[in-house]
A and B are shown apart, each in its own frame.
Chain A
Amino acid sequence: MKVAKDLVAASATPMVLGILAEQDSYGYAILRRINELSGGELDWTEGLLYPLLHRLERLGHVESSWQSVAGERRRKYYRITRGGLAELAEQRRQWDAVVGALQEVWPRPGDSRPFTTFPQGGFA
């Protein structure tokens, strides 16, 4: 099963901000972390990640800095800002509302409530 593209796109911002809230990171590591967190079911591309990171930087949610690693290689590290943390909190509230509503409407495994019974009233 792969998660649909729209859903990946919708969850992209809180996902990246959340990962950066754990610790500063860089593109490839962020992508690997997402893969790890989702068990490979979230299909992210570089075309989604890097423009998103640049947009978050433009909006002031993250900051970046170049650091040298292993010889001549330069790596661009991203760090979440205070504005980014606030944005993350806001996104989280919205996602909690969505997830909460979905959990209300979907029967959990082991839930005895069958689909077909209606609360009082019925068709009488």
Chain B
Amino acid sequence: MTDDQADLDAQFAQWRHYVQRRRELRQTDVDELEDHLRGSVDDLLAAGLHADEAFLVAVKRMGSLDELSREFAREHSERLWKQLVLTGGSDGAAAGGRSRRDLLVMVGCAVGAAASVKAPELFGLSLEDDAAFYGPNVGLLVLPWLAGLLAWRRRASAGLVGVLVALFALGAVAANAYPLAEDSQSVALTSLHLPIALWFVVGLAYVSDDVRSSRRRMDFVRFTGEWFIYYVLIALGGGVLTGFVFGTFEAIGTSPEDVVGRWVIPCGAAAGVVVAGWLVEAKQSVVENIAPVLTRLFTPLFTAVLLAFLVTLGVTSSGIDVEREALILFDLLLVVVLGLLLYSFSARDPLAPPGAFDKLQLALVLSALVIDVLVLLEITGRITEFGTTPNKAAALGENVVLLANLVWTAWLLLSLIRRRRPFAALERWQTNYLPVYAVWAWVVVLLFPPLFGYL
């Protein structure tokens, strides 16, 4: 019997070793499954089977490991992030062919994006002289290619592709149909808000395989953050390359300024958008370890800065000077705070108990809220005194949208820390709120110009 037991233990050890190679399964999952297997073996032994027979039957009953880990991956999509089984059980040669086709489609989309940026030059528009055209339209030229790539990868349904096309068309109307002066506030507002609105269209393409799933939306948040990091990295590399091009060509007496300024930089910037998106999809494990580290690093730093600001404000007791720039600055501050939050939420293990970092986040949110309320009071005072402009209205609206989110976030964080609610409530709130940003961006783009008389 002891011999049997040793034999069985060896088999379990082998099984563990085999199962641990599955990246969908964590150590605790393997422990849980092993306990299950042992329970099953014990029952079979009690029914009179030999140890090795019992082990075989129990393993067989557990079913194929592929299927099992796919089910685990479906629930724990944050782990799925580490690898690429989004479309399920492809393997070997089929996967190789698919990734090759993927690469070709990506290159096609990147070239398309670069060509689209240069295409308006055929109609006599140039990057240097027609900022009023390129400002609002640049998102329209580039982002459809990224959305197309994602929709293709997700095998989006025809209906959804129709919606995507319609939204991009709507964006084109908003950018070009209104009679706006080149230096009007509305052109600047549209230039700022249309890319945001279109980014959410990209998001729709991203979640097209499961539009309502809150986890997929969280994946999109993660995608956005990682896309940004990749894009910055590509831009840095591109900067180094451009520097070398200038240095080496000038050394042989040729100035590459015209070629670089008119071709390399705009085309590279456009293609980089698509390439960064593809990299996030294909090479996730490279960045995924950086991203949570960055949020961990900057959450305490931002909290410290905000608290220092509040203390200074209290000591000197001078009011906040709310010029238009200050308004935008504080909007940006809220965006950064929200970005830090969203990003660390998306990287958080939903089952982890509340810890010190959650408290730190609560401190960050609360200090941002206090500052924001102070600013908001000043602004409403000024608006009631001097009337409103498109810029002020947009900034104020953004402030309210962000404030509403952060207030409820603070409440949910508090309940999480006091163990009243699970982390899932927080996650659901954030993912359900995403369409609000999209709607606001579209409102600014579509309704503001006529509302404010094309100012």
**Residues from 420 to 446 in B contacting A, C-beta threshold 8 Å:** 421-425
Stretch at the interface among B26-34, B259-267, B280-288, B298-306: B26-34
Task: Verify B351–A57 contact, CB threshold 8 A.
Answer: yes
Which residues of chain A come closer than 8 Å to B154, judged between CB atoms?
none
When A50-B29, A59-B422, A60-B424 are in contact, do A45 and B36 touch as well, CB less than 8 Å?
Answer: no
Task: Verify A76–B39 contact, CB threshold 8 A.
Answer: no
Stretch at the interface among A15-23, A26-34, A93-101, A106-114: A26-34
When A51-B75, A55-B75, A76-B28 are in contact, do A46 and B424 touch as well, CB less than 8 Å?
Answer: no
**Could you say which interface size class chain B belongs to?**
20 to 34
Q: A77-97 interface mask toward B, CB cutoff 8 Å, 1 = contact, 0 = none?
A: 000000100000000000000
Which residues of chain B come closer than 8 Å to A55, judged between CB atoms?
75
Helix, strand, loop or mixed for chain B's interface? Answer: helix
Quote the shortest CB–CB distance from B57 to chain A (angstroms).
14
Whether B63 is near chain A, meaning CB under 8 Å from some CB there, is: yes
Q: A30-46 interface mask toward B, CB cutoff 8 Å, 1 = contact, 0 = none?
A: 01000000000000011
Whether A121 is near chain B, meaning CB under 8 Å from some CB there, is: no
User: Which of B28, B36, B38, B74 sits near A46, CB closer than 8 Å?
Assistant: B36
Task: Verify A47–B28 contact, CB threshold 8 A.
Answer: no
Number of A-B contacts (CB under 8 A): 66
Please measure, in the bound complex, the distance between the C-alpha atom of A59 and the C-alpha atom of B427, giving whole angstroms: 10
Quote the shortest CB–CB distance from B381 to chain A (angstroms).
43
Task: Verify A73–B38 contact, CB threshold 8 A.
Answer: yes
Task: Verify B71–A60 contact, CB threshold 8 A.
Answer: no
Whether A5 is near chain B, meaning CB under 8 Å from some CB there, is: no
Which residues of chain A come closer than 8 Å to B67, judged between CB atoms?
45, 47
Task: Verify B76–A75 contact, CB threshold 8 A.
Answer: no
Whether B135 is near chain A, meaning CB under 8 Å from some CB there, is: no
Whether B350 is near chain A, meaning CB under 8 Å from some CB there, is: yes
Quote the shortest CB–CB distance from B38 to chain A (angstroms).
7
- 20 sampled A-B residue pairs with Cβ under 8 A: A27-B32, A28-B35, A31-B36, A45-B63, A45-B67, A46-B68, A47-B71, A47-B72, A50-B36, A51-B76, A54-B76, A55-B75, A58-B75, A58-B350, A58-B351, A58-B422, A60-B424, A66-B31, A75-B35, A76-B28
Q: 19 new A-B pairs (CB below 8 Å) besides A46-B33, A58-B75?
A: A27-B36, A28-B35, A29-B39, A31-B36, A45-B63, A45-B67, A46-B36, A46-B68, A47-B63, A50-B33, A51-B72, A51-B74, A54-B351, A57-B351, A58-B422, A60-B421, A60-B424, A74-B35, A75-B35
